[in-house]
Amino acid sequence: MRSELLSDIDEHIFDVLIIGGGINGATSAACLQAHGYKVCLLEKGDFASGTSQESSNMVWGGIKYLESLEFKLVYGLCKSRDLLIEHYPTRIIPIPFYTSLYKHNKYLPFFAYLGSILYWMIALGRTEFPKYMSAKQIGHDFPIITQKKLRGGTTYLDAFLPENDARFTFQLIEKAIESGAYCINYMSVESFKYENETWEVKASDQINPKQFILKSKILINAAGPHLEEINSENKRPTDHKLILSKGIHLIVPQLTNSHHVLTFMSKDERLFFVLPMGNRSCIGTTDTPVKADTKEVTDEDRKFVLDNINQYLNLDKPLTRADIIAERCGVRTLCADTTSEKEDWIHLSRHHKVECFINSQQINIIGGKLTNCLNVGEEILDKVNQLLQRFPEFLIWYGEESDDIKESFLSFALEKVEARTAHLLWRRYGSKAIKIINLIEYDSRLKETVAENTDYLKAELLYIKQNEYVTKDEDLLRRRTHLSLTSTHEQMEKIKEFLLSL
């Protein structure tokens, strides 16, 4: 499939060429291609292999931003969250967040409860009304939470991605390709120049070494932490100061069930979460200034996360490094309007910026998060419309397939597999899951899970390898699925053995 896209990629003059296959690049490609623009997207690694595979998997309105009185931002994020929930009802799931506050926290529980009500009001009451929780009630409902010095807390509703951020990003890429876009992973941009109102981009295939010369009317830099690096090669600095922040999560054995998120405030007042991830728990996160994109999880990072989890949860025995199944480490881009080194760190994390340079037909996307990805796509559409002086009719370019298609699939699938499996397949693949059912009909052994205590069928991995632009095993294990994050060493041995047999 990838080779088919490469076969004639250099024969076109594209309307838009996007550098970066993370969530910003993916949503831009899907939106622009749906509106009739001819789009090419290049990603030097696999799709979503950078920052977009390392988030907390939360789709939330940013309740913590109320602290800095960012009411407009919170309203926008809540609106974006609710739009995603409405149009992706199986891929994005509402989930209660339970916040516990202790004597060392600066906010009293009732004050936090009032804040959660304000949060609910800003979101126009689209979710369940928040609840105040006394220390006694928290102890009753969640005996795993440490009671010592617990004052109480509050609960409110947000949402999360049960199948992970990287898969959601890939599905936007896939949607763009199905609409006619050329989205290529493992394609590195070597150089580019702007002459005669056209961008000429030299790119190299990292899989089968070959160079391509691509032409486009507009260039979009959606390279995240590498944005300045790419712009410096082009001698086109950004109008904003970029600051990088590293966040890490640890994946550990399941601590609580998958129907809620536990939230705490660390002693330095950073939010700390226990999030569901399949049959595991994801704990974190950190927020550390760094100078460059890095995948390094330091001993200090691990200590911070483990110390917090052991402080707030009553576990049979404290979690140690030996309990860590996998680690996530991502670097996001924060945006400052000045060159001051004294910018407020929390404030920087709020906003994304879209820079548009009319003289060179270039757009930069700085910052952003999964929650407002649809807004980013439409902002980019607006900028491209202005640059090319085209104004296509607006259409809804996002969302899952209709309920009728879903019911038709489930009616067919429930004759072949269990109900839970049928619903999982729909959530992961939509109507394309029919192909997985067909694989099972052809070979009943493919109905088996790929390893004990995992919920991925052998048929799924075969389908993914054949249809989802997988070039390396890591693409399948880390991004199209979350197997490498949630599987033990023994499980991974069995999974890799199966992949070798394909």
Provide the terminal-to-terminal Cα distance of the chain, rounded to the nearest Å.
17
Going by C-beta distance under 8 Å and a sequence separation of 6 or more, which residues neighbour residue 155? Answer: 96, 97, 98, 99, 116, 130, 131, 133
Residue 342 has pLDDT above 80, yes or no: no
Please state, in angstroms and rounded to a whole number, the distance separating the CA atoms of residues 160 and 252.
18
* Per-residue pLDDT band at 343 (split at 50, 70, 90): low
Side chain identity at residue 243, one-letter code = I
Beta-bridge partners for 150: 102
Tell me the average pLDDT of the chain: 93
Side chain identity at residue 260, one-letter code = H
Q: How far is CA 490 from CA 141, 255, 451, 453, in A?
A: 34, 21, 9, 11
Instruction: Kindly tell me the burial class for residue 261, based on how many C-beta atoms sit within 10 Å of its own C-beta (0-12, 13-18, 19 or more).
Output: buried
∠ CA 185-188-191, rounded to 5°? 145
Least confident piece of the model among 44-48, 150-154, 289-293, 384-388? 289-293
Instruction: Kindly tell me the burial class for residue 472, based on how many C-beta atoms sit within 10 Å of its own C-beta (0-12, 13-18, 19 or more).
Output: middle
CATH 3.30.9.10 in the chain is located at 66-163+243-345
Residue 229 has pLDDT above 90, yes or no: no
Domain 2-52+165-240+347-388: CATH class, spelled out: alpha beta
Please state, in angstroms and rounded to a whole number, the distance separating the CA atoms of residues 261 and 35.
37
Residue 304 has pLDDT above 80, yes or no: yes
Query: Tens digits of per-residue pLDDT, 402-418?
Result: 999 999 999 999 999 99
* Per-residue pLDDT band at 207 (split at 50, 70, 90): very high
User: For tokens 């029919």, what's the residue?
Assistant: 434
Average pLDDT over residues 231-256: 84
Please state, in angstroms and rounded to a whole number, the distance separating the CA atoms of residues 347 and 337.
11
Q: Give the per-residue pLDDT at 348.
A: 56
Average pLDDT over residues 175-199: 95
Please state, in angstroms and rounded to a whole number, the distance separating the CA atoms of residues 239 and 355.
7
Average pLDDT over residues 85-104: 96
Please state, in angstroms and rounded to a whole number, the distance separating the CA atoms of residues 32 and 18.
11
CATH 3.50.50.60 in the chain is located at 2-52+165-240+347-388
Least confident piece of the model among 23-32, 285-294, 442-451? 285-294
* Per-residue pLDDT band at 184 (split at 50, 70, 90): very high
Please state, in angstroms and rounded to a whole number, the distance separating the CA atoms of residues 404 and 402.
5
Residue 390 has pLDDT above 50, yes or no: yes
Q: Which residue has the higher pLDDT, 149 or 340?
A: 149
217, 388 contact by CB (below 8 A): yes
User: If residue 66 lies in a helix (H) or strand (E), which one and from where to where?
Assistant: none
Residue 499 has pLDDT above 50, yes or no: yes
Q: Is the pTM of this model over 0.85?
A: yes
CATH number, domain 66-163+243-345: 3.30.9.10
Question: Taking every pair of C-alpha atoms in the chain, what is the biggest distance, in angstroms?
Answer: 71
User: If residue 169 lies in a helix (H) or strand (E), which one and from where to where?
Assistant: helix 165-178
* Per-residue pLDDT band at 351 (split at 50, 70, 90): confident
Q: Give the per-residue pLDDT at 459.
A: 98
Q: Give the per-residue pLDDT at 340.
A: 47
Query: Tens digits of per-residue pLDDT, 37-77?
Result: 999 999 999 999 999 999 999 999 989 889 888 899 899 99
Residue 83 has pLDDT above 70, yes or no: yes
Handedness of CA 155, 160, 63, 304 (dihedral sign): positive
325, 280 contact by CB (below 8 A): yes
Q: How many CB atoms lie within 10 A of CB 218?
A: 24
Beta-bridge partners for 264: 272
